[in-house]
Amino acid sequence: MASVTLSLPAIATSSLSRPSLGSLSKPKPEIRPKPTPRPTPFPSHTLYKTPLRPLTHSPRNLRVTSQLRLPIISPDDHWGLWTALFATGAFGLWSEKTKIGGMVSAALVSTLVGLAASNVGIIPHEAGAYSVVLEFLLPLAIPLLLFRADLRSVASSTGTLLLLFLLGSVASMVGTLVAFLMVPMRSLGHDNWKIAAALMGSYIGGSVNYVAISEALGVSPSVLAAGVAADNVICALYFMVLFAFASKIPPEASPDDVSMKMESQIERKFPVLETATALATSFVICKASAYLTSLFGIQGGILPVITALVVILATLLPTYFAYLAPSGDTIALVLMQVFFAVLGASGSIWNVMITAPSIFVFALVQVTVHLAVVLGLGKLFHFDLKLLLLASNANIGGRTTAGGMATAKGWHSLVVPAILAGIFGVSIATFQSIGFGIIVLKHL
């Protein structure tokens, strides 16, 4: 039987010390820090044994609370943004029931609220919803706003107030010329005369004309926004001065029934058919204006064409458009309040102070000269101060602020003439300001 021999490698025991051999036979226990037990939410058997740590010690909580982003309502939050815009417009309408809101009108309140909301970081300065308002809702509101723009009726109903309104329009032109010579706004480049013309249109007709002129002349968006913010601040100061002049003028004894006719029409409940017809008519006018603009290659957008077309139609067909005017006023009132909220939201006061402070100074000189010319010539020719203030208000603020001032001061016989004068201003301001800008301001 064969024998098997196994050969094993020899282990050098001299290379191992006794502690090493001992450690091989009996390993030394490793001392590790005792892990901290993870707290469980309200354990019933350890509630009084394990102290609860304060939540403020958690770095995760601190990190969450520090991630507040502005604006609070982002441009992509469409429902939130439209809610904010319509709520701002509704707040402006409600404010007219208060003493201060009744004096300055819902339009200015909505604009200032929108301006404040965007500058404190609640809503953004730019959003897609704003483009929808400016490209669709504003053109739709212009015909509804001008259904009463029968030029023959305006001339016969306003009387002396229309003459003083034309005086105020000339005063706005003089103020624009003086302000442009004093503050030429050279830092804006080619936008300097364009924004000057746009502000002039705003101080003859209103904010609708400001946007229409800016679109027609191609004002850059940053300058347009800076002009909006400057205009809002200047208008707020202007109305404080205007009501200071009117503080000593007493109200009329009693409201005239004829003067309150328009207010009673606005306050009554409108039939659905009239409202739908007014809205459809406005759509037809906007579509026709867009077609004519494209057909003849008219530069500057469709807003001037819409204005001209509706004024012509309202003058040629006064009965039809007077029938639709009450319903048109209601729809236009809501749409314009949203527009005023957008107009305020797109204006950045910080942008004015940093990029274009000259616009603020320009507008200040412009309005100051306007008011000085109106009051100076009015005193020279012995016009009634009440009529002068309303005419100036119709120029600078528009029909809503002029009618609101007449109502708040108790000058009931002048409510309708003030509104009609403001409508006339909206009808002429775009064309007058564009012509003045191209012929005069562009070459200074």
What is the pLDDT averaged over residues 150-161?
Answer: 86
Using CA atoms, how far apart are residues 359 and 406, in angstroms rounded to an integer? 30
370, 234 contact by CB (below 8 A): no
pLDDT band at 21 (very low <50, low <70, confident <90, very high): very low
Lowest mean pLDDT among 91-100, 197-206, 253-262, 434-443: 253-262
DSSP state of 186: G
Instruction: Between 167 and 269, name the one with better pLDDT.
Output: 167
> Which residues make Cβ contacts (< 8 Å) with residue 444, sequence separation at least 6?
180, 181, 184, 193
pLDDT band at 22 (very low <50, low <70, confident <90, very high): very low
Both tokens of 285, joined, read 């006018």
Q: Is 50 exceeded by the pLDDT of residue 40?
A: no
pLDDT band at 98 (very low <50, low <70, confident <90, very high): confident
pLDDT band at 36 (very low <50, low <70, confident <90, very high): low
Q: pLDDT tens, 51-89?
A: 444 444 444 444 444 345 778 999 999 999 999 999 999
Q: Is 90 exceeded by the pLDDT of residue 253?
A: no
Phi-psi region of 159 (alpha: psi -120 to 50; beta: other; left: phi over 0): left
Q: Is 90 exceeded by the pLDDT of residue 157?
A: no
Q: How distant is the alpha carbon of residue 402 from its chain centre?
A: 20
What is the pLDDT averaged over residues 333-349?
Answer: 87
DSSP state of 98: S
Q: Is 50 exceeded by the pLDDT of residue 313?
A: yes
pLDDT recorded at residue 412: 83
Q: Is 50 exceeded by the pLDDT of residue 33?
A: yes
pLDDT band at 30 (very low <50, low <70, confident <90, very high): low
Q: Is 60 exceeded by the pLDDT of residue 187?
A: yes
Q: What one-character-per-residue DSSP string does 339-405 give?
A: HHHHHHHT--HHHHHHH-HHHHHHHHHHHHHHHHHHHHHHHHTT--HHHHHHHHHHHHT-HHHHHHH
Using CA atoms, how far apart are residues 47 and 107, in angstroms rounded to an integer? 61
Instruction: Between 262 and 206, name the one with better pLDDT.
Output: 206
pLDDT recorded at residue 350: 78
- What pTM value is reported for the model? 0.73
Using CA atoms, how far apart are residues 327 and 276, in angstroms rounded to an integer? 9
Q: Calculate the alpha carbon distances from 77 to 83, 84, 113 in Å.
A: 10, 11, 19
Task: State the Rg of the chain over Cα.
Answer: 35
Q: pLDDT tens, 370-395?
A: 999 999 999 999 999 999 999 999 99
pLDDT recorded at residue 440: 95
Question: How crowded is residue 64: how many other Cβ atoms within 10 Å of its Cβ?
Answer: 10
Closest listed residue to residue 287, CA positions, set 310, 319, 318, 312? 310
What is the pLDDT averaged over residues 406-413?
Answer: 83
pLDDT band at 11 (very low <50, low <70, confident <90, very high): very low
pLDDT recorded at residue 177: 96
Both tokens of 37, joined, read 């037990």
Enumerate the H helices of 397-443 as residue ranges: 399-408, 415-439
pLDDT recorded at residue 195: 95
Q: Is 60 exceeded by the pLDDT of residue 172?
A: yes
SS3 content of the chain, % helix, strand, coil (to 5): 70, 0, 30
pLDDT recorded at residue 341: 92
pLDDT recorded at residue 233: 84
What is the pLDDT averaged over residues 269-282?
Answer: 88
Mean pLDDT of the chain: 82
Using CA atoms, how far apart are residues 224 and 203, in angstroms rounded to an integer? 15
Reported as type and span, the H/E element at residue 86 is helix 78-95
